[in-house]
Structure 1
């Protein structure tokens, strides 16, 4: 089969690899009909996440048709159309029983490595580092899905791939980020980063009843997409984020702040920015923490910081005294996809939200390596890329209207 494989920093290749096979009784094999490039994949592409090995198959946002089922799997049948959450969960451990799917205690087959880095194991993840199990990912024609009687979400007839694909990651990630904020009708919610997760966090905050939502970014295409649903916007290259947020909140600051950026924050040249880039280059810190610092200073006392943005290691110069003295609450974590998937699928069916709005580029799987660069560099107004396995790179796709 064809798959996108990691061969080092900025080196992704479309290669022929062995087809997956059933290895455990609860497995399923899924023929991928659509997959996507996620911002988290860029952390691998840019070499910021440890634990990658040459030839690893990338991708954790995918869906398709079940073509083979293990003898112990009573949930799925051949022919079922499913979205596969990026977190692999057993459904039986203490954390799964509590609904904390992203910290499943069994699915990470490299538990000892994860424990050394994080203190405790996390769940296994598709197409990510060997810290999270080293499972082959979904940017491929076929995928083996372990514990496939637990996480996969069956797709009702009548919904397109683009409407439901993002149930596997970025839609519930944006939703969880907003839910963690405990939004009240009087709240201002500020969202740093208007990429795909930020777009869903903005819409989720509005759906949950925030008085006003502010999207912070530097790219006009992203800001206009956020504004299309009623968000206010701040271009951080044109005005001070802290000053504008103070103006919008009567000097008090937003009650709730969401970091939808993570470890590769882009900021205007400043001492803060130069400090992070210098320490990262010298390997004295792994993650650029500008957004975290700015949120801490911006947030109103007794507010909540919600962090869906991915961080992989060590950050520096975090003003934790401000966190403590302002009484801020911090909530973060990989997404518990199955905690939210059923409700979000209902909202899609009821047309409360159509997640396909975020798609700007649809290409064949074999064009994926070039699209990694386009997505990373934000060329051609690129916000979200969908890849189609089994389709020729010469195929043309209908252009979606862009907000």
Structure 2
């Protein structure tokens, strides 16, 4: 038997036994994840009991029913395998696979895609016509997104292996691409293509909801030659990180911007972002705006000739670019990775240390005895565990307790306009 981490309900995760992953189709691969990222959106069901509230919201028309096609008719109802960002080692390949080999390190995109249908050929891999039954086919979202399970597991099966996994380029530290399955690629599409069309353009990032995406976007904008990068966030720690990347932390937008990244995941933040655009500017919104009626200033956009881009990111085609960008930019230097936390433990402490890795994946503080702990300032959104010999020890044996309890963060009081839970992908 092998193990996979399952979401049970708000505040509760548990390791569950399951049959070993195996090749089911000649085009499959089986991979062993050893660095796992926690998406900004994972924090919503982990830390907030949103399932019944969102079910009621869909029933009364306050939440768009498409949410049910992604998260289930009772959104985020456990148990289901969790996690959709990882770096993994290929451990087996099907007889028809020609581009991967055993031992290769790869990033596995969150969305499951075939690579050959019309949407995939157009770069819309998150809308694959072959794998998508309803709205999205993806790892780590539960049965509504398909039978793929989560990525925080001993091993898992990857279909269409000649297309899906993205090999990690030589020389790229693996922790730097821990979030390339989703969040890093999402940030890349927000700033790098628009900057290619607006050389030296000004960039504004409104952060706080999609925490790591906003920070990645700020760092990428600096690395790709933006003339000005302003970062707005009410969290001092994230402002410090943005400044360490070369961005300017400000309390409010200063003027008008060619490119705006809306990462507050709020309706009010979206309107603020659109009103901050310079003529001909583009705003990319990376949150989940689940309410059925999210107001936007269309007349202002018309007068400004503004563009709003909102939609799922397509990590598979972007993964080839975002990993190299992270390596080139240097914004994610070793042991200060925006979306990673590394814990080094003695061999004798492997059992307890690995259990703490699950705790750190939940955003908890690592409390057990360790040789060295490297902690990021960006909410500890990924974790890996290694021994002094360098052996990867991420996945723990069964904890002595049946589940790991997640600490509940302090909640801000939302305005009535933004009362629907804010999420990000």
Among 241, 259, 264, the alignment partner of 1:261 is 264
Distance 2:324 2:364 in 1: 30
- The answer to whether the 8 Å contact 1:260/1:307 transfers is yes
1:299–1:155: structure 2 CA closer, same or farther, 3 Å change rule?
closer
Deviation at 1:256, TM superposition (A): 1.8
**Does the alignment pair 1:390 with 2:414?**
no
**Once the 2 structures are TM-superposed, how far is the Cα of residue 137 of structure 1 from its aligned partner?**
1.3
Task: Write out aligned runs for 1:20-31 (5 A).
Answer: 20-31=21-32
Contact 1:191/1:198, CA 8 A, preserved across alignment: yes
Quote the offset at 1:106 in angstroms: 1.4
Query: Of 185, 192, 199, which residue of structure 1 is paired with 2:206?
Result: 192
- Unmatched runs of 5 consecutive residues or more in structure 2: 55-66, 344-352, 366-374, 386-393, 400-425
Question: Is 1:258–1:305's contact at 8 Å kept on the other side of the alignment?
Answer: yes
- Matched with 1:238 is none
What is the TM-score normalised by the length of structure 1? 0.75
Q: CA deviation at 1:61?
A: 0.5
- Partners of 1:148 and 1:318 lie apart in 2 by 41
Partner residue in 2 for 1:117: none
Partners of 1:168 and 1:379 lie apart in 2 by 19
Asked if 1:302 is matched to 2:280, the reply is yes
Q: State the alpha-carbon separation in 1 of the partners of residues 204 and 26 from structure 2.
A: 46
Cα RMSD of the aligned pairs, angstroms, is 3.0
How far the C-alpha of 1:175 sits from its partner, in A, is: 0.9
Size of the aligned set, in residue pairs, is 344
Q: Structure 1 residue 96: deviation in Å?
A: 1.1
Q: Which residue of 2 aligns with 1:76?
A: 100
Say if 1:13 and 1:369, in contact at 8 Å, map to a contact too: no
Superposition TM-score, scaled by structure 2 size: 0.72
| Matches for 1:114-133 after TM superposition, within 5 Å | 114=135, 122=136, 124-133=137-146
Aligned to 1:330, what secondary structure does the other structure show? strand
| Equivalent-residue separation in structure 2 for 1:163 and 1:372 (angstroms) | 16
After superposition, the C-alpha distances for 1:192-226 in whole angstroms (9 at most, x for unaligned) are 11621111111222233221111111111110010
Change (3 A) 1:92 1:187: same
Alpha-carbon spacing, 1:374–1:227, altered in 2? closer, same or farther (3 Å): same
Is the Cα–Cα contact under 8 Å of residues 84 and 139 in structure 2 kept in the other structure? yes
The CA distance in 2 between the partners of 1:160 and 1:186, in whole Å, is: 28
158, 168, 174: which is aligned to 1:161? 174
Once the two structures are superposed, residues 45-95 of structure 1 have per-residue CA deviations (whole angstroms, 9 ceiling, x without a partner) of 233663144221011111221112222322222222211111221011011
**Aligned ranges 1:281-300 → 2 under 5 Å:** 288-300=266-278
Counterparts of 1:234 and 1:387 in 2: how far apart (Å)? 33
- In structure 1, C-alpha distance between the alignment counterparts of 2:171 and 2:193, rounded to whole Å: 31
- Residue in 2 that maps onto 1:276: none
